[in-house]
Amino acid sequence: MIWNRRHLLDIESLSVEELLTVLDTARGFKAVGNRAIKTVPALRGKTVINLFVEPSTRTRISFEIAAQRLTADVVNFNADSSSLKKGETLRDTARNLEAMNADIIIIRHSAAGAPHFLARFLQCSVINAGDGAHEHPTQALLDVFTMREKKGRIEGLKVTIVGDILFSRVARSNIWALKKLGAKVTLCGPPTLVPRVFEQLGCRVCSDVHEALHDADVVNLLRIQHERQRPSMFPGVGEYRAQFGLDKARMAGLKPDVLIMHPGPINRGVEIDADTADGDRSVILEQVTNGLAVRMAVLYLVTGNDPGFVKN
C-alpha cells in the first residue's frame, strides 16, 4: 500500500499505485457501511470543514456523512452567508478556518486550481471536491471503483464518456484515472464540446454516437453544464437529446452487459431517459453509495502521518 500525501488535489499527479491504494482502501470502507454500527473512530478528534464556495448537495452531503462515519467533527461552510460575500479573500477565509484548528479542508470552488492554491500555504490537509472545469478527483475515484467492482478490472475496459467534455471536471478526472489504469477511453458529444485536443490525453474522440457506444463496456453520461455554457457552443436541448441522448432505442444497440453511469444530477429526458436511468444496466445509485466509501478512504489516507510526506 502506497500513500504519502497530505492532500488530494487532483488525479493527474497520482501514481497507479496511489490510485489502487485508494480503491483498495475504499473496498474496506464499503464493508463498514454495511454494518449495523457504521461509525469507526479513525478520525476521532479531527475537524473537517466543508468549504463549498460553489453549490453542491450530493458531494457535500457525501463528504459530510463520510467524515461523520469516521467520527470526525464536521462543519459546513455556506458561501452565501459568509464573509466571502463581504469581500474576504479565499486565502484569508481558509487561514481563518485553519486558525480554528481545522485538520482537513474540503474545497469546492469555481476557479480551477483553488485547492492547489490553498495547499501551498495551509498546514492542514486539502481535498479537492471540484475546482472549475479542472478536476473532481473523488468523483473519478468512485466511478473507477464502481467499474472495477462491477467488471472486475479496469485494464482493457472500453469506457465511453458522452456529453459536455470541454467544461467537465468529472470527464478530466475520469480520463486521468482511466488512462493510468489502462482503460480505453472514447469521448463523444457535439464537436464544440468535445474538441480534438483531448486526443493528446490518449482518448479517442468520436462524434458518431453509434460508433462510440456499440462496443462500450461502460457508458458514463455527463450532464450538460448550462451554468458554464455559452449559447454558441450548445446545439439546444432538443437537438442534443436527438443526437446524443441515451434512450430505449439506443440502448438496444449496446452490449447487453454495459454499465450505464452518471455522476448526477441527472437531467431526465436530456442526456438519459427515465427508463434507462432506472433500468437494470444503470448503476447510478450504486455510484452514490460507493462515493461514501471512496470519500471515507480519502479522508482516512490524508490523515495518516509520516515525516516523509510530500508537500502535496
Count, residues near other proteins per rule CB under 8 A: 24
In 3D space, the residue among 19, 39, 10, 204 whose CA is nearest the CA of residue 117 turns out to be 10
Query: Which helix (H) or strand (E) covers residue 131, if one does?
Result: strand 125-131
12, 32, 75, 266: which one contacts other proteins (CB under 8 A)? 32
CB of 40 to other proteins, least distance (A): 4
Which among 38-46, 178-186, 196-204, 276-284 is the span making contact with other proteins, rule CB under 8 A?
Answer: 38-46
- CA 39 to CA 33: how far, in whole Å? 8
Contact call for residue 201 and other proteins (CB under 8 A): no
Of 35 and 230, which CB lies nearer to other proteins in the complex structure? 35
Burial degree of 12 (CB within 10 A; 0-12, 13-18, 19+): middle
12, 13, 42, 110: which one contacts other proteins (CB under 8 A)? 42
Contact call for residue 29 and other proteins (CB under 8 A): yes
- CA 159 to CA 18: how far, in whole Å? 21
CB of 104 to other proteins, least distance (A): 12
40, 90, 233, 288: which one contacts other proteins (CB under 8 A)? 40
Helices (H), the chain: 16-33, 58-69, 90-99, 114-121, 137-151, 169-180, 209-213, 237-244, 248-251, 274-277, 284-303
Contact call for residue 145 and other proteins (CB under 8 A): no
Contact 260, 112 (CB under 8 A): no
Contact call for residue 211 and other proteins (CB under 8 A): no
Burial degree of 212 (CB within 10 A; 0-12, 13-18, 19+): buried
- CA 224 to CA 165: how far, in whole Å? 9
Of 31 and 249, which CB lies nearer to other proteins in the complex structure? 31
**DSSP structure class, residue 258:** P
Site for other proteins in 249-308 (CB under 8 A): 300-301, 303-306
35, 85, 86, 311: which one contacts other proteins (CB under 8 A)? 35
CB of 31 to other proteins, least distance (A): 6
Owner of C-alpha cell 463498514: 32
Sign of CA dihedral 155, 283, 108, 292: negative
- CA 293 to CA 297: how far, in whole Å? 6
Which among 28-36, 92-100, 109-117, 250-258 is the span making contact with other proteins, rule CB under 8 A?
Answer: 28-36
In 3D space, the residue among 298, 301, 165 whose CA is nearest the CA of residue 222 turns out to be 165
What are the φ and ψ backbone dihedral angles of 160, each rounded to 5 degrees? -110, 125
DSSP SS3 for 108 = strand
Which among 1-9, 164-172, 208-216, 253-261 is the span making contact with other proteins, rule CB under 8 A?
Answer: 1-9
Of 104 and 162, which CB lies nearer to other proteins in the complex structure? 104
CB of 37 to other proteins, least distance (A): 4
Of 72 and 212, which CB lies nearer to other proteins in the complex structure? 72
Which among 26-34, 56-64, 131-139, 264-272 is the span making contact with other proteins, rule CB under 8 A?
Answer: 26-34
The 62-91 site mask, x for binding other proteins (CB under 8 A), equals: --------x---------------------
> Contact residues for other proteins (CB under 8 A)?
1, 3-4, 24-25, 27-29, 31-32, 35-37, 40-42, 46, 70, 300-301, 303-306
